Chains A and B, each alone.
Chain A
Amino acid sequence: MTLELSARDQSMLDGEQGPSSAAAMKILVAFSNAIGATSLLDISAAHIDGCLYHGKAGLDFVERLVEGGGRVRVPTTLNVGSFDLIHPSMVKMPAAEEAPARRLMKAHLELGCQATFTCAPYQTRFRPGFGQQIAWGESNAIVFANSVIGARTNRYGDFIDLCCAMTERAPAWGLHLAENRRGRILFELDVADGVPSDSLFVGVGLIIGQASGDRIPVISGLPKPRDEDQLKALGAAAATTGAVALFHAVGITPEAGTLDEAFQGHAPEETIRVTRADIDQALSRLSGVPDGAPLSAVSLGTPHFSHDEWMRLLPLLREAAPGRGIPIYVNTGRATLARLQEEGALDGMEAFGLIPVADTCTYVTAILDRLDGVVMTNSGKWAHYAPGNIGVTVAFAEMRDCIRSAAVGHVVRGAS
């Protein structure tokens, strides 16, 4: 089996378009051979998950591409970094780590990437369209692009996402191809929710992530979401407990108008019934503490808060008016933050403990002042990773309960 290259691919490989393009194409060819792709296809956008500093090799790679005069060839957004460049004093990092972490973010800009520094590039002006071929990194962004938008990407990661951006190419395989996007496993939801809560979507995500393996899940019976933020939460949770890169929700997502369309006329390989009790059980695993536990912080916005989510949060803050100085961290994209500031929407909100965080996320770097108490979140992804990443105890709850708890100083949930 040989990989077929276009004349332009070959020209890049031969170094006729500079050493950085040559390196990117060489790596892309090796990757394509390893997965058994027989050709490459054009992509029109990329999202790079390369700005978190994990070691010198990652930085050396980007520096070498910069030295070789490398430039990305498609509009390319950047995922979060280790640093909040908008609020530099917020991240508590030793100087020896800060310099390379900052440099890594800046070096990507020198390659022509956009300074988005967000895990939710679909909330920026670079949002792709239905059917668009893209090469995205970052698990929640990948599942959102494929499932909610109907754009087409595989799960790209380390180095390869950037090689795709620098060559404008990706291997023609996996979810880039229509026939590989059909559902394989059916989750039949049996939940009678009048107005579905945010946590229902998180719970469904946790369950399909755990049970799907490498099969594309199809969900039937999912209540109509209020907005795409609920689907964002579902996808982020599914990509946390599993490797889900694409889900279909019948009657909701764009490639699943009907059950038959979602499965492209095939029968499901397996059918799993999901009840309210299953969802409650999955959600209960996200909370390490009982109600009443003292609260040290709230963290919202994983994935990064959308403008709509801010518009739901701000009235809750005014209503509950937390005044105990418990920090309420909200991770968001810098573009969303700039819009809110222009609108004056955040004026006076710091009195309630609100601390907006941009460019990074509270679980990938040292932001939280206190790690000793309980941190509340409405994010299934944050609840899953934060205990391991930064050593906190987490209580998962609806956003309203997070804010009420900040007002009273301890964990309260539901009607309590």
Chain B
Amino acid sequence: MTQSVAAFERAGSFQLAGAAEAEALVFSQPLSFWGGIDAETGEIIDHSHPGRGQNIAGKILVMPSGRGSSSSSSVLAETIRRSTAPAGILLERPDPILAVGAIVAEFLYDIHMPLVVCDIAGIVSGERIAIGIREDGGASVRRI
């Protein structure tokens, strides 16, 4: 994995493969989808989270990990169904709960919301990020 910010392209591994290009929304604190996201709108509703009031819909959500109850799988799948989900998610550590939500949504609705485990250092909110699929099947994460 490259650490270089100047030549901003890093490799990652997919928990769910797909391509996306959107604005980054970066949090240093994990966000629980269950109790933390309004599935109807994509708005962050967790009172204790610094992102409260912001909207994840259509963004590349970047955070260290997932958090909380297994019900987050259902909420992520429901946001993907309703098109209120992020365009993609970058995590530092793999998350079984979000992986299940993403893969269930792919199974049901054939929507591939990329879920990537990669180095998230240096990515800041507002910059445009592209997630692509490499020839070896791994993820490429680029700033554009």
Chain A window 88-99, contacts with chain B (Cβ cutoff 8 Å), 1 for yes, 0 for no: 000000000000
Asked if A56 is at the interface of the complex by the 8 Å CB criterion, the answer is yes
Flag if A30 contacts B16 (CB, 8 Å): yes
Chain B residues with CB under 8 A of A60: 81, 108-109
Chain A residues with CB under 8 A of B15: 30, 33-34
The chain B residue sitting closest to A161, CB to CB, is B70
Asked if B139 is at the interface of the complex by the 8 Å CB criterion, the answer is no
Interface set, chain A 128-171, CB cutoff 8 A to B: 137, 155-160
Flag if A64 contacts B107 (CB, 8 Å): yes
Asked if A355 is at the interface of the complex by the 8 Å CB criterion, the answer is no
A4 CA / B32 CA spacing, docked (Å): 30
Instruction: Name the interface size band of chain A.
Output: 20 to 34
Task: Give the shortest distance, in Å, between A317 (CB) and chain B (any CB).
Answer: 36
Task: Give the shortest distance, in Å, between B67 (CB) and chain A (any CB).
Answer: 11
- Known A-B contacts A23-B107, A30-B16; the reply to A56 vs B78 at CB < 8 A is yes
Asked if B71 is at the interface of the complex by the 8 Å CB criterion, the answer is yes
A290 CA / B82 CA spacing, docked (Å): 45
Flag if A159 contacts B100 (CB, 8 Å): yes
Interface set, chain A 37-66, CB cutoff 8 A to B: 54-58, 60-61, 64
Asked if B25 is at the interface of the complex by the 8 Å CB criterion, the answer is no
A159 CA / B96 CA spacing, docked (Å): 12
Q: Tally of A-B residue pairs with Cβ under 8 A?
A: 83
Asked if A27 is at the interface of the complex by the 8 Å CB criterion, the answer is yes
A237 CA / B70 CA spacing, docked (Å): 18
Interface set, chain A 357-382, CB cutoff 8 A to B: none
- Known A-B contacts A26-B107, A155-B70, A158-B71; the reply to A57 vs B95 at CB < 8 A is no
Chain B residues with CB under 8 A of A64: 107-108
Flag if B99 contacts A30 (CB, 8 Å): yes
Flag if B99 contacts A54 (CB, 8 Å): no
Contact of A26 among B70, B73, B78, B103 (CB under 8 A): B103
A40 CA / B81 CA spacing, docked (Å): 30
Asked if A7 is at the interface of the complex by the 8 Å CB criterion, the answer is no
Chain A window 210-249, contacts with chain B (Cβ cutoff 8 Å), 1 for yes, 0 for no: 0000000000000000000000000000000000000000
Contact of A27 among B39, B71, B94, B103 (CB under 8 A): B103
Asked if B56 is at the interface of the complex by the 8 Å CB criterion, the answer is no
Chain A residues with CB under 8 A of B99: 30-31, 33-34
Flag if B100 contacts A56 (CB, 8 Å): no
Chain B residues with CB under 8 A of A30: 15-16, 99-100, 103
Asked if B45 is at the interface of the complex by the 8 Å CB criterion, the answer is no
Chain A residues with CB under 8 A of B80: 57
Chain B residues with CB under 8 A of A277: none
Instruction: Provide a sorted-by-A list of 7 A–B residue pairs whose CB atoms are within 8 angstroms.
Output: A26-B107, A33-B15, A57-B104, A60-B108, A157-B70, A158-B70, A160-B70
Given contacts A34-B94, A159-B74, 8 further A-B contacts (CB under 8 A): A26-B107, A27-B103, A57-B104, A155-B70, A157-B69, A157-B97, A158-B70, A160-B100
Closest 5 CB pairs of A and B: A157-B70, A158-B73, A34-B96, A57-B77, A55-B78
